[in-house]
Amino acid sequence: MKYVEVNGVKCVEIPPPTENDILFFGLKRSGNHAILTWVLSHLETYRHYNNVFIMDGKCYVDFVSDINLSDDHPYSVNLYSFEDRVVFSNVNPLLDWSGLPSKQRIMIIRDPYNMYASRLQVHRNPNKDYPLLVKYWTAWTEAMNLDLWLSFAKEFTGETNHLGSDCIKVNYNTWLENERYRNELSLKHFGVVGEISKTTHKAGGGSSFEKLDGKPDKERLTNRWRHFLIDSEFSPLLRNREIARLSKTIFGFAHSQVRL
* pLDDT number for residue 149: 92
What's the structural domain count of the chain?
A: 1
CATH number of the domain within which 51 lies: 3.40.50
The residues, ordered by sequence, that sit 6+ positions from 219 with a Cβ below 8 Å of its Cβ are none
Give a yes or no: residue 260 inside a domain. no
* pLDDT number for residue 83: 84
* pLDDT number for residue 159: 93
* pLDDT number for residue 66: 54
Give a yes or no: residue 257 inside a domain. no
* pLDDT number for residue 218: 58
Distance of CA 15 to the CA centre of its chain: 21
The residues, ordered by sequence, that sit 6+ positions from 45 with a Cβ below 8 Å of its Cβ are 70, 72, 73, 74, 75, 76, 77
* pLDDT number for residue 54: 78
Give a yes or no: residue 44 inside a domain. yes
Q: What is the 3-state secondary structure (H, E, C) of 224-236?
A: HHHHHCCCCCCHH
Residues in the chain where the model's pLDDT stays below 50: 64-65, 90-95, 129-134, 136-140, 199-209, 211-215
In angstroms, the CA 96 to CA 85 distance is 9
Give a yes or no: residue 183 inside a domain. yes
* pLDDT number for residue 134: 46
Give a yes or no: residue 189 inside a domain. yes
Q: Which pTM value belongs to this model?
A: 0.81
* pLDDT number for residue 231: 85
Give a yes or no: residue 258 inside a domain. no
Task: Print the domain residue range for 239.
Answer: 3-251
* pLDDT number for residue 211: 42
Give a yes or no: residue 259 inside a domain. no
Give a yes or no: residue 188 inside a domain. yes
